[in-house]
Structure 1
């Protein structure tokens, strides 16, 4: 049996039963214990199931609530820096960019190259400050209501302003990614900002580390048919 086929069988069996002992999995799927332990470790490291003492548990799709930005900026930093570097590789000189609010876009703002002379629009006061500190010259801050928990600008004025512009690239923050690669955020106003940015861009990218996978949040704003996902593994 091929490894990928074996992993799918294990994952399906565990998800169907919520919890399975190693003995149950081994007996039902006819997989030797040594191979099973290695496979369960791999699936656990990929956040596809949770390995526990003597067996494995299904990872149910979680409902993610909004954390304040200060908390996000000190969480999964290494993964977010990897994602930011991958996103940077998508940017060419003189392109016009929409940079969404969020902690991962913050790390991208830190490393956007000033010599590329990009025109950047953002709905994040903090990201605008970081871009300025980085030496980026053409920074445009959208108007609107300030959401204090994320320091994101959103609302009717933001949507009206954003609707006037067209972008080469949009980089969007994501709060949750479900198993079908639908993308979610916690706020309807922020979701509408993201939708318009995607609609008005040639290419859209969603930035989300693996901790946000297998989860859902309040509002779906896009899916894999509309934007490309960048995480630390892809």
Structure 2
């Protein structure tokens, strides 16, 4: 049986080999060129060429020693708002457990953070600052919530305001807690975004906040984005879904102090 498998691997055409590498990326998130070369019985040079081609096609980002899957979250906000609604609600229920009365909460745009807005406790004297019109709509007319909507330009397909106006307003805030939207998250590469302006605003949110929390759907874990936002060491609380394997949760806890798993 082993010999048959080896013969099959030796007989792979370049396109088949590249498809297998892409499958490994989608399964594991991160791949190493040396390990792939050994598995496919080819040279690391050949594997790196395949990884370069996959990166050119937008499937992955080249990192030291291998590649990281690009996050699948690069979709219009209107699409993301209707995806995995129940999963995001469970993440939100876990995330709001760290909110304390009378805090200033900075709530970034994003569909999971809209779910957090809906789950925030009432009559707790919270001031919620957000650049998300969708989140603002979930907060209005609820008792004990003071809401501040950050202004600015809302780009086509974006979930919230961006640009110089939004950036200036965020820089003037001193929040107790920030729920940051993350397009991609990897223990080594950190938090990333797809848009340069969005990444700049997110970095300002990190600087403006005493504590940083991220609630993350599973498909964004072990993936890359185009623009760096923050290292994992900046994240005080990470909320993940119940389907994340135990070994992966352990690897996250090795770099983040508080990793909390939402209820299934």
TM-score over 0.5 for the pair: yes
The structure with the greater share of residues assigned to strand is 1
The DSSP-based 3-state class of the residue aligned with 2:157 is: coil
Q: Which residue among 137, 141, 166 is the counterpart of 1:158? A: 166
Q: Where does residue 36 of structure 2 map in the other structure?
A: 17
Q: Cα deviations across residues 33-84 of structure 1 (Å, max 9, x unaligned)?
A: xxxxxxxxxxxxxxxxxxxxxxxxxx95225462112211222223212211
Q: Where does residue 188 of structure 2 map in the other structure?
A: 180
State the distance in 1 between where 2:109 and 2:138 align: 12
8 Å CA contact 1:64, 1:217 repeated in 2: no
Taking structure 2 as the reference length, the TM-score comes to 0.64
State the distance in 2 between where 1:204 and 1:80 align: 18
The DSSP-based 3-state class of the residue aligned with 1:220 is: strand
8 Å CA contact 1:65, 1:217 repeated in 2: no
State the distance in 2 between where 1:182 and 1:113 align: 30
The DSSP-based 3-state class of the residue aligned with 2:129 is: strand
The DSSP-based 3-state class of the residue aligned with 1:89 is: helix
State the distance in 1 between where 2:144 and 2:81 align: 21
State the distance in 1 between where 2:222 and 2:161 align: 27
Shift of 1:225: 0.8
8 Å CA contact 1:112, 1:134 repeated in 2: no
Alignment of structure 1 residues 122-201 onto 2, 5 Å: 122-132=130-140, 134-135=142-143, 137-180=145-188, 182-201=190-209
Shift of 1:87: 1.1
Aligned length: 187
Name structure 1 gaps, 5 residues minimum: 1-10, 22-58
Q: Where does residue 25 of structure 1 map in the other structure?
A: none
Matched, 1:210 2:226: no
| Cα-Cα RMSD | 2.6
Q: Cα deviations across residues 153-211 of structure 1 (Å, max 9, x unaligned)?
A: 01111111111110000001111112525111111111111111111111011221111
8 Å CA contact 2:193, 2:228 repeated in 1: yes
Higher relative contact order (CA 8 A, sep 6+): 1
Q: Which residue among 213, 221, 228 is the counterpart of 2:229? A: 221
State the distance in 1 between where 2:217 and 2:73 align: 16
State the distance in 2 between where 1:103 and 1:167 align: 21
Q: Cα deviations across residues 79-99 of structure 1 (Å, max 9, x unaligned)?
A: 212211111001011100100
State the distance in 2 between where 1:100 and 1:221 align: 13
Shift of 1:222: 0.8
Taking structure 1 as the reference length, the TM-score comes to 0.72
Name structure 2 gaps, 5 residues minimum: 1-27, 41-66, 243-260
8 Å CA contact 2:139, 2:147 repeated in 1: yes
**Farther off after superposition, 60-69 or 80-89:** 60-69
Q: Which residue among 110, 127, 130 is the counterpart of 1:119? A: 127
8 Å CA contact 2:68, 2:224 repeated in 1: no
8 Å CA contact 1:176, 1:184 repeated in 2: yes
Q: Cα deviations across residues 97-139 of structure 1 (Å, max 9, x unaligned)?
A: 1000000001011111121120010001111011115545410
